[in-house]
Amino acid sequence: MAIVTNVYGIAESLRRLLSERRAAADADSVRAESARRARRAADLRTVEAAQQGRRDETEAKARAAGFTSMTEAIEQTRRLTIGNAAARIGVGLRTVARWRRREPDDLSSR
């Protein structure tokens, strides 16, 4: 009888220990998921801020070149080669190529 009681006690202790470990693991998972969501949100804000900074920098270069906006700069230099337009605006070749590929509606919204 003592052996049966002792085995039952061990099994119950083991069940309790496993239950506590599962609960701790679940809590860690919830905390980890919450941390991942928070980091993801912060990363998105950082990306958006970086993109906005690049847009502002491009607009500033276009204004420094004598245009009112990058949209106007692209439209007024459309007859030039990409290289000449880039040199005139003060931006890179890829920037001009990217802006030229945009639809007219996309250009006016920037």
- HEC letters along the chain: CHHHHHHHHHHHHHHHHHHHHHHHHHHHHHHHHHHHHHHHHHHHHHHHHHHHHHHHHHHHHHHHCCCCCHHHHHHHCCCCCHHHHHHHHCCCHHHHHHHHHCCHHHHHCC
pLDDT of 104: 62
Each residue's pLDDT tens digit, 51-90: 898 899 999 999 999 999 999 999 999 999 999 999 999 9
User: Residue 38: is its pLDDT beyond 70?
Assistant: yes
What's this model's pTM, rounded to 2 decimal places? 0.57
On whether the CB atoms of residues 26 and 34 are closer than 8 A, the answer is: no
Q: Please give the average per-residue pLDDT across 93-107, as a whole number.
A: 82
Each residue's pLDDT tens digit, 13-29: 777 877 787 777 777 77
pLDDT band for position 108 (cuts 50, 70, 90): low
Return the closest-CA partner of residue 54 out of 104, 103, 94. Answer: 94
pLDDT band for position 7 (cuts 50, 70, 90): low
User: Residue 2: is its pLDDT beyond 70?
Assistant: no
pLDDT of 6: 62
Give the number of other CB atoms < 10 A from CB of residue 63. Answer: 15
